[in-house]
Amino acid sequence: MANKPASGTGKSWLAASFKAGTTTTISPKHAPSALPSKAAAPRALPSATSAAMQGAAPALTRSAPLRPQEKLFAKGASMPTGVGLESSRVRERMVQRIAAQGTEHPAVLAAMGRVERHKFVDTALVNQAYEDTSLPIGLGQTISKPSVVARMLALLLERTDAPLGRVLEIGTGCGYQAAVLSHVAREVYSMERLKGLHDKARANLRGLQRPNIHLLFGDGFEGYPAGGPYAAIISAAGGEAVPQTWIDQLAVGGRLVAPTQTASGQQSLLVIDKTATGLLQHILEPVLFVPLRSGVA
């Protein structure tokens, strides 16, 4: 949602009514592990032709080290799964473009490669799902560019190894970023203020089997203290300042990444590290996100 362009008999596990401040946990049975396994780099093979012709023992050649995005798909590069937009090759190319732009965190790239972005956009826009562009998702909101999602997650993981602990996401949108987050965090609490988008994310995430995603319908300004303190907080909307409630719910040693309006009036990425002695703030590159608003609708 960023970077513009009570159960009863007979009801399903997701057929509950929602009010502001309520939580939905996406928790089907037989859920996969939170982190993907790393693909092994192929061993170099001996080049024997010229050595054999001269009667010498074949020499072993040493291949160049694989870049992170190459390691992810090294095992199955010749055997992609699925066809069309379901093909792993489509996501592989997206991941390679992200890495070429400078985001090379292995856990982030692996997570981006596992989540099918086209399942989170409207049918009319699926052909653009793997382009590095934001797309409308309704109600005046957008799904962020893949490169921006990857950049912000890499910032969260910059000083620590995956998986993160509990993460609070402000602005669920269509649920795509929450899905990616679920592969690099133990628990994801994702809050959305717009009921229509909260319901859309719930539908989009239903079949992904990610039991560590907890969907919240409520005012993002208030955060979700019941799930805190959080190892990380990430926002998909930007305001003039970061709400104090977010800082209060961030654990000591935790990191917050959010767009914020700078003195020049433009939005930039803000990184806040909470230490035992105070806050460390860093303003990074300019970005363009939807505005942060209070209340529910």
Q: Please give the DSSP secondary-structure letter assigned to residue 268.
A: E
Could you give the 3-state DSSP secondary structure of residue 163?
coil
Q: Please give the DSSP secondary-structure letter assigned to residue 207.
A: G
CA distance 115 to 34: 12
Task: Please report the DSSP string for 240-261 in residue order.
Answer: SS--HHHHHHEEEEEEEEEEEE
Per-residue tokens: 187: 């628990």
Residue 144 catalytic? yes
The residue among 236, 228, 226, 127 whose CA lies nearest residue 180 is: 236
Provide the angle, in degrees to the nearest 10, between the axes of the packed helices 146-156 and 88-100. Answer: 70
CB atoms within 10 A of CB 29: 7
Catalytic site residue from 144, 182, 190, 235: 144
CA distance 208 to 27: 10
Residues sharing a CB contact under 8 Å with residue 151, sequence separation 6 or more, in sequence order: 103, 269
CA distance 175 to 213: 10
Give phi and psi for 74, each to the nearest 5.
-60, -40
CA distance 49 to 293: 67
Beta bridge partners of 235: 170
Q: Which residues are catalytic?
A: 144
